[in-house]
Amino acid sequence: MKKILSTMMALALTIGAQAQTETIDTAQFVAVYDYECRTQDAEGQGVTDRMQVVVQVGRTVTKSMPRSVYRQRDESEEADVLADYQEAYLHMPTVWTGYPGGQATIREFIFPHEYEGFERLRERLRVGASAGMGEQSSGMQTPDIAWTLTDDTLSVSGYLCQQATATFRGVEWRVWYTEEIPSSAGPWRLRGLPGLIVKAESEAHTFRLVELRQELGAITAPEQRPDVQRMKYAKLLKYKNEIYGNRQYAKNPAYYVPDLQRSISSMCVFQMNGQDLIYANDHPLLTKAHKYQPLEKE
């Protein structure tokens, strides 16, 4: 198993090294969030799925991504695979806010293809510099989230935070942001406040900041590959919600693929912790899933 897995990981690294990427901004700092989703398994029992989301905050572009997209393969192979499988339950996309200029770009894998959605942003917010975070005055555009600011305060992860509420794409959010870090950024697509979002929660979802560090790393554009299917984000979101929101999905995650065998160009099956784990087309292929809890309903 380890030999097969090593070969697979080495191939993935080689493919990644060969992919054509473009540096579009430089991160001024990196924020790491724990993300939890409260849902049910295929048998209807309550479960909480967990992963980490990494946000690179640049001068004009913010890139939010699953930790597997951001990290280097310097952990054990077993840890990498288990993390990949956990992320597969959660359907977290990679989001570029402010790229290309005036737009948001959303990239995610829905078996058997990778998809890229795009939509124009509306609001513009200018953020000042902060001691300790460098000169990061930013003119990044933000999604049109109609935040309501409240007088409630809370200490979160060592920061004094203020509360704001909003309904974004059909989901009600309560967030805490800190003006100690004057950035309009946040996890996933949540942003647009006069301070970094430190915690965000809805009925099913919670993001919480667990690490913040200065890191002048490259923010890269989506890899340009001919197999990626591109479309307006509204169409991609509708497609995603129809697939994962179907009642069949939890018990048969590939129910919507008409010919599963022909859709698989490469596959690796191995055992770990007493269960068979499958990689198909370089991504985890779930045989059982959890009830879908959309971050965006409309």
- Per-residue pLDDT of 247-296, as tens digits, reads 999 999 999 999 999 999 988 887 777 778 888 988 999 999 999 999 99
CB 215 within 8 A of CB 184: no
Q: Which two tokens stand for residue 183?
A: 């950035």
Q: What is the pLDDT of residue 274?
A: 76
Distance CA 174, CA 160 (A): 16
More confident residue, 21 or 250: 250
Distance CA 54, CA 197 (A): 13
In a domain, 228, yes or no: yes
Which is nearest to 210 in space by CA: 95, 104, 52, 58? 52
In a domain, 75, yes or no: yes
In a domain, 137, yes or no: yes
Q: What is the pLDDT of residue 222?
A: 95
Give pLDDT tens digits for 96-147. Answer: 999 998 899 999 999 999 999 999 987 544 333 333 344 343 444 344 799 9
Q: What's the number of domains the chain is made of?
A: 1
Q: What is the pLDDT of residue 76?
A: 54
In a domain, 293, yes or no: no
**Contacts for 69-76: CB closer than 8 Å, 24+ residues apart:** 69/94, 73/9, 73/12, 73/13
Q: What is the pLDDT of residue 123?
A: 54
Q: What is the pLDDT of residue 232?
A: 96
**pLDDT > 90 in the chain, percent:** 70
Q: What is the pLDDT of residue 216?
A: 86
Query: Which one of 8-12, 80-84, 91-95, 138-142 scores highest in mean pLDDT?
Result: 91-95
The average confidence (pLDDT) of the chain is 86
Asked whether the predicted pLDDT for residue 13 surpasses 70, the reply is: no
Q: What angle do CA 228, 20, 10 make, to 5 degrees?
A: 90
In a domain, 42, yes or no: yes
Q: What is the pLDDT of residue 125?
A: 41
In a domain, 272, yes or no: yes
Name the residue type at position 194. Answer: P
Q: How confident is the model at residue 45 (pLDDT cuts 50, 70, 90)?
A: very high
More confident residue, 3 or 40: 40
In a domain, 214, yes or no: yes
Q: How confident is the model at residue 174 (pLDDT cuts 50, 70, 90)?
A: very high
In a domain, 269, yes or no: yes
Which is nearest to 180 in space by CA: 205, 165, 197, 163? 197
Structural domain containing residue 239: 2-284
Q: Which has the minimum average pLDDT: 81-85, 113-117, 228-232, 243-247?
A: 81-85
Residues 49-53 have a mean pLDDT of 97
Backbone CA torsion sign across 67, 116, 41, 39: positive
